[in-house]
Amino acid sequence: MITSVKSEKPRIGITLGDINGVGPEVVIKSLHDSRINTLITPVVYGSTRVLSFYKKLITLEDFAYSQVKSREQFIPKVVNVVNCWDEVIEITPGKPSPETGRAALLALKQAAQDLKDGLLDALVTAPVDKSTIHSNEFPFKGHTEFLAEFFDTSDYLMLMVSEKLRVGLVTEHIPVKEIPLLITRDRINIKLMILEQTLQKDFGITKPKIAVLGLNPHAGDGGLLGAEEESIIKPAINDMKNKNKLVYGPFAADGFFASGQYTRYDGILAMYHDQGLIPFKTMAFESGVNFTAGLPVIRTSPDHGTGYSIAGKNQALEGSMRQAIYTAIDIARIRKELSTEK
């Protein structure tokens, strides 16, 4: 029996990412657990040849899948696979190449189009290599920026999610010297509004409590170590407070995490990448998820990269990929529940 796109189970698209990285391995390991197929209809974007190669390499040869014959039909209770390229691409685990970068882009484009067309309920993306996928066709810094443009979204938020933490970023993948130039009152306000909205509609928190970190050491120490806290960050926080939002700070990042103060908040807004991701990955590296908030669609990914050094060695842990799938399921469920209540 074949189910159409009206299946009650959420249809979760999953890209293989760079096929010479750990993406195929963690996807196979995640979907090898038959329990997950009772929750979703998984649709993998990549290549059956790649899955065949890796299931033998990691000795999971009983991993079953079915090639999608029609764009609008998926088979329930098995892993559906959409072949995104016809040519034979050499698979050499651990070795980046332009060919695997192009393959990753083909899979991403097909999955994104199916997501836009309503064939999927959510998308989970395995890691890509920014250096090999980058081209005239993909002039972006990563998945997030590509998907924001693809879905015509100017305001979005990179949000790292785990059981203990939800950390959003004011700035993402930029050189450190450029960070202060992008820390503006308007930008912080936009990110705070997206963070509050996603905590409400995607995580079901009616009145979220949000902490804002400072930019400088000791949150500027009253202006002795930098002026941004007094001139930019505090006014942005006050803007939100004047709208009756539960926003607090700015907090010195080191003490905020070291003291366990983060446990008192539903969401945290960090000023830059490493400020938020170092504590996050320290506490949740094997179970953390990257969620793109602010999009009209649902997209998650594991919080690790291509892992070339362990690719093909059966060493990659699938915890973060599995959790990315579960997070996509949870957000899809919450959005559906909230939409039926209106």
Average pLDDT of the chain is 94
CB of 225 within 8 A of CB of 218?
Answer: yes
73: β partners: 4
Establish whether domains 1-153+295-342 and 155-292 are of one fold: yes
Domain boundaries, the chain: 1-153+295-342, 155-292
Distance between CA 309 and CA 321 in Å, rounded?
18
Cα–Cα distance, 170 to 192 (Å, whole number):
9
Please name the amino acid found at residue 61. E
* pLDDT of 7 above 60: no
Please give the CATH number for the structural domain made up of 1-153+295-342.
3.40.718.10
pLDDT confidence of residue 168: 98
Mean pLDDT on 244-257: 97
Please state whether the predicted TM-score (pTM) of the whole model is above 0.85: yes
Q: CA nearest 272: which of 191, 186, 154?
A: 191
User: Per-residue pLDDT for 172 more than 80?
Assistant: yes
What's residue 11's pLDDT? 96
pLDDT digits (tens, 9 = 90+) for 17-57: 999 999 999 999 999 988 888 999 999 999 999 999 999 99
With left for phi above 0 and alpha for psi between -120 and 50, is residue 151 left, alpha or beta?
Answer: alpha
pLDDT of residue 10: 94
Confidence of residue 269 (pLDDT cuts 50, 70, 90): very high
Look at residue 2 in the predicted model and tell me its pLDDT.
35
What pLDDT sits at residue 335?
94
Q: 86-118 pLDDT, tens per residue?
A: 999 999 999 999 999 999 999 999 999 999 999
Nearest to 147 by CA among 22, 26, 256, 301: 301
pLDDT higher than threshold 50 for residue 5: no
* Tens digit of each residue's pLDDT (9 = 90 or more) over 114-161: 999 999 999 999 999 999 999 999 999 889 999 999 999 999 999 999
In the numeric block, the tokens 């579960």 are attached to 326
pLDDT of 34 reads 81
pLDDT of amino acid 71: 79
- Which pLDDT value is given to residue 52? 97
Which of 107, 276, 74 minimizes the C-alpha distance to 191? 276
CA geometry: angle 157, 243, 238, nearest 5 deg: 80
SS (H, E, C) the chain: CCEECCCCCCEEEEECCCCCCCHHHHHHHHHHCHHHHHCCEEEEEECHHHHHHHHHHCCCCCCCEEECCCCCEECCCCEEEEECCCCCCCCCCCCCCHHHHHHHHHHHHHHHHHHHCCCCCEEEECCCCHHHHCCCCCCCCCHHHHHHHHCCCCCCEEEEECCCCEEEECCCCCCHHHHHHHCCHHHHHHHHHHHHHHHHHCCCCCCCEEEEECCCHHHHHHHCCCCHHHHHHHHHHHHHHCCCCEEEEEECHHHHHHCCHHHHCCEEEECCHHHHHHHHHHHHCCCCEEEEECCCCCEEEECCCCCHHHCCCCCCCCHHHHHHHHHHHHHHHHHHHHHHHC
Give yes or no for a contact between 28 and 46, defined as CB atoms under 8 angstroms apart.
no
Handedness of CA 70, 71, 77, 80 (dihedral sign): positive
Quote the pLDDT of residue 73.
Answer: 85
pLDDT in the model for residue 33: 86
- Residues 185-195 have pLDDT tens digits of 999 999 999 99
Calculate mean pLDDT across residues 250-260. Answer: 97
Whether a cis peptide bond, with omega within 30° of 0, leads into 98 is: no
Report pLDDT for 4.
38
* pLDDT in the model for residue 342: 62
Reference 326, options 309, 302, 306, 304; nearest CA is 302
* Mean pLDDT score, 56-67: 94
Top CATH class of 155-292 equals alpha beta
Residue corresponding to tokens 């919450």: 334
